[in-house]
Amino acid sequence: MKETGYKLIDGKIIINRELTILDKFVKDFLSVLTKYSDYLIVSGFVSISTGRTRATEDVDILIPLLSKSEFTGLFAELSKRGFWCYQSDLAEEAYSYLKKMSNIRFARKNEMFPNIEIIPITKERKAKYYEFTHPQKIKIKEFEFKIPLIEFEILYKEKVLAGKKDMEDAAHLRAFFKNILSNTKFRECEEAIKHEISK
């Protein structure tokens, strides 16, 4: 696997590579989402964005549970910008899924993949809330976005998800970021997810 390299400048990870089609898709979506909500990109895209070569069909994004008016504005602008929602063409119906803390998906119109999976969170989702409130900034060319602490992402994949692809993602992150990983952060993150490990 070819590593693309990075720099850590003022706490921000700068990845040394060109933007991909997937990066540009996520960048376009975030340009709308950030007008209405905070966010955190999690799971597979974290590993892919930091140089792991593997396919993905969806990009997982955590957002706080929005009000109906906030979501309606977001939904309308996403529609204008060429995105559609898997669950419904109507904002009110799509919002009913979020309200029940169910995930919803968006893709470009007339396409199924790639897609964005929106995952609503509240303080009750303790591990995800910790993840959301401890972001790591990352930048590729002009595209700057937020991911979890690398230590959190590694532990969550190793100890909670633990699938083959997750373990490979975690191994990539451990190898790629070996010079900046913090044992203190690992301990803090493990404490944050301990109730999910025991499930």
**Which CATH number covers residue 57?**
3.30.460.40
Answer whether residue 4 is part of any domain: no
Q: 119 pairs with which residues across the strands? A: 62
pLDDT value at position 160? 96
pLDDT value at position 198? 61
pLDDT value at position 2? 45
Answer whether residue 145 is part of any domain: yes
Instruction: Measure Cα distances from 156 to 66, 70, 142 in Å.
Output: 25, 30, 28
Answer whether residue 188 is part of any domain: yes
What order of strands is seen across the sheet that includes strand 40-42?
Answer: 40-42, 58-64, 115-121, 104-108, 83-85
pLDDT value at position 53? 86
pLDDT value at position 197? 83
Answer whether residue 101 is part of any domain: yes
Answer whether residue 55 is part of any domain: yes
Answer whether residue 7 is part of any domain: no
pLDDT value at position 55? 81
Domain that holds residue 101: 21-197
pLDDT, averaged per 10 consecutive residues of the chain (199 residues), comes to 74 95 97 98 96 89 98 98 98 98 98 97 95 98 98 97 96 96 98 84
Answer whether residue 13 is part of any domain: no
Answer whether residue 130 is part of any domain: yes
Give the number of domains in the chain.
1
Token readout for 175 is: 């190898």
